[in-house]
Structure 1
Amino acid sequence: MRLILTALIFVEGLFFLVMGLGFLFMPASTVTSFHLSPDGAGGLAVLRADFPALFFVGGGAMIWGAWKRNGDLLLVPAAIFGVALFGRIVSVVADGTYPGFFPPMLVEALAVVLSLFGSRLLPHRLT
Structure 2
Amino acid sequence: MKLASIILSCTILIQSFNFDISDIQKISNLMEHLDCHFEDGDTIDDFIAIHYSGDENAPKTEHEKHQELPFKHQHLDAHFQLVFIVSANEFFGYYQESFLVNTKFTYKEPSTSLVINKFFQPPRV
Structure of greater relative contact order (alpha carbons < 8 Å, 6+ residues apart): 1
Q: Bigger radius of gyration, 1 or 2?
A: 2
For normalisation by structure 1, the TM-score amounts to 0.26
